[in-house]
Amino acid sequence: MTEHFATSPFGGRMMNAAHFLSYEKLRQQQKEVRQKQSEIEQDHHSFDRWKLLRALTEAREAYQLSSRTIAVLEALLSFYPDKILDSRVALIVFPSNHELSMRLRGMSAPTIRRHIAILVELGFILRRDSPNGKRFVRRDSNGEIAMAFGFDLSPLTFKASEIETHATELREQARIRQQLRFNITIHLRDISKTILAALNEGREGDWNTLYDQLQALSGRVERNGTLENLGKREQALSILRKNVENLYLSKVSEQKTSGNVCENEHHIQNSNIESFDNKQVQNRENIKPEPISKNLRHDSKVQTHTSTPDLQEILQHCPQISHYAQHGIHQWRDLILTAGHIRPMLGITVSAWQKACEIMGEINAAVTLAAILERSDKIRSAGGYLRKLTQQAEHGQYCVKPALRALSNIRH
């Protein structure tokens, strides 16, 4: 193919120094490659067009390219017959306006021209205008291309190294951004659940202030947020998480050291009960537990208690809950702890559980949860069912003992 092309553009487009220099730069680059052809391995001057296009797509932010501009370049590349682009020769494609529009799914001619102008300005392609401005090809007697006018894709090959560098940098930024977003999401979840656990367990500490700090750092984790903003947010959450976990663990240590019965889910207190070793507890008809768990923003309400059967009777009617106890259920606090563990499994919200504990008392609420577990395959919404029972208990219409007897009758 001949190397003699008109430098000036066809029609009303004006000639300028940048236009002229881009042609001269390309001509000089191709000349240098040909002179060193015997010394250069093929991999240094040949590029897979689709891999190059993918790299440019990844590096589009560096060049401020829109997806439609890249689509136009993809369409132009599709007209070149070979998969490999060789930078030693002019890579001319000469599609008609109609065919180019078809490959761009009907994109209008003015829009195509606008995106082609962007590609020319950025130095990815060059125009090779014929004397009359048409795009066409002339072949020799052997059918080989002797002269072609259209768009020259060879400048893209000389930018391959630059494109790959930008793509690598942006891939690394994307990896860091993804890791920061991952860390932020985990921090938000862990901090929230730790504070919630502390409040449910009635642990001492300024949890409301920590919750307010969490709220200030909460919100949508932007997919394309800047690394600087994401980094600052991740660092702040990391510090907050450390403070929350340290406070939580310090209270755990204090409670273990003091030997207080207040553990995990609820504190059980009754002046008529000297020991909670349930193997010694029998015929306790009027146990009145007093919860200390509080809602996030308000104190617990005065609760109405219902009579509670003894622990062995409960386990006889509700054996399934024992399967979820880490060390078995031997006393009342074991029952309450296990109920707290299975609550999320049943889909019961914290607010519904707290309300049940406030109205029924922790023991009766735990017994009710054990009964719900026995009938979980028949109950469509365990959370809604518990709320309904709580409302009935609040109006004196629900008692644990008859519920257990009814459960036994259903089983038999």
Residues 84 and 142 grouped into a single domain: yes
Residues 211 and 283 grouped into a single domain: no
Cα separation, 319 vs 314, in Å, equals 8
8 domain-assigned: no
Residues 130 and 273 grouped into a single domain: no
6 domain-assigned: no
Cα separation, 236 vs 239, in Å, equals 5
- Angle among Cα 209, 213, 214 to the nearest 5 degrees reads 115
Q: Which of 237, 258, 279 is the last residue of a domain?
A: 258
Domain with 106 in it: what CATH number?
1.10.10.10
Judged on CB neighbours under 10 Å (0-12, 13-18, 19+), 335 is buried
Query: What's the farthest any 2 CA atoms get from each other in the chain?
Result: 113
pTM for the structure as a whole:
0.50
Segment 352-411, tens digit of pLDDT: 999 898 888 888 899 999 999 888 888 888 888 999 999 988 888 888 887 787 776 665
Residues 254 and 301 grouped into a single domain: no
Alpha-carbon distance values, 293 to 112, 179, 194, 257 (Å): 67, 36, 15, 21
Q: What is the DSSP secondary structure assignment for residue 381, as one 8-state letter?
A: -
pLDDT at 279 over 60: no
7 domain-assigned: no
Residues 231 and 278 grouped into a single domain: no
Counted residue by residue, the chain has a size of 412
Segment 290-340, tens digit of pLDDT: 343 333 333 333 333 445 678 888 888 888 888 888 788 888 888 998 998
Lowest mean pLDDT among 6-15, 64-73, 80-89, 310-319: 6-15
Segment 136-156, tens digit of pLDDT: 888 887 877 778 889 999 899
Residues 379 and 325 grouped into a single domain: yes
Q: Which of 214, 230, 258 is the last residue of a domain?
A: 258
Segment 50-79, tens digit of pLDDT: 999 999 999 999 999 999 999 999 999 999
- Domain extent, residue 342, equals 263-412
Residues 145 and 206 grouped into a single domain: no
pLDDT at 223 over 80: yes
Residues 317 and 407 grouped into a single domain: yes
381 domain-assigned: yes
For the chain, the domain total comes to 3
Q: Which of 158, 184, 208 is the last residue of a domain?
A: 158
Residues 278 and 400 grouped into a single domain: yes
Residues 124 and 175 grouped into a single domain: no
Cα separation, 190 vs 74, in Å, equals 45
- Tokens representing 27? 């001509």
Residues 272 and 251 grouped into a single domain: no
Residues 268 and 253 grouped into a single domain: no
- Tokens representing 207? 């949890």
12 domain-assigned: no
